[in-house]
Amino acid sequence: MHDQDGALFASLRSIGLFSNRLLLWGIGAEILFAAALVGLPPLQRVFGTVPPPAEYLALLVLFPVIVWGTDEAWRLHRRRRNLRDRDATATDHRHRRRRATSAGAV
């Protein structure tokens, strides 16, 4: 679990939306390819596609926001849990030292 701490704390908010240009090019190419499949008549005939209704396209805009928001909420949950676990471990170590010190003093 500790090897993922870097990924855990590197949220999109902290590293920036446009920090990975290669990923952005890949996303752009994928969107263009999907648009070509459903929008260009020659490709529509080959792949048997039709353009979706406009209201469906409007809904597509929401999905990246939903996925990003869910991911950020999960990362926040994990950060809080890691901090709570670290605090509990530190408290446990302090109690052990006190017991060892008091037992040695007797």
> What pLDDT sits at residue 8?
46
> Which pLDDT tens digit goes with each residue over 6-52?
454 566 667 777 888 898 899 899 999 999 999 999 999 999 999 99
Query: How far is it, in rounded angstroms, from Cα 9 to Cα 59?
Result: 30
pLDDT value for 37 = 94
Annotated domain spans of the chain: 1-51, 54-106
pLDDT tens digit sequence for 44-92: 999 999 999 999 988 888 888 898 889 889 988 998 998 888 877 777 7
**pLDDT exceeds 60 at position 5:** no
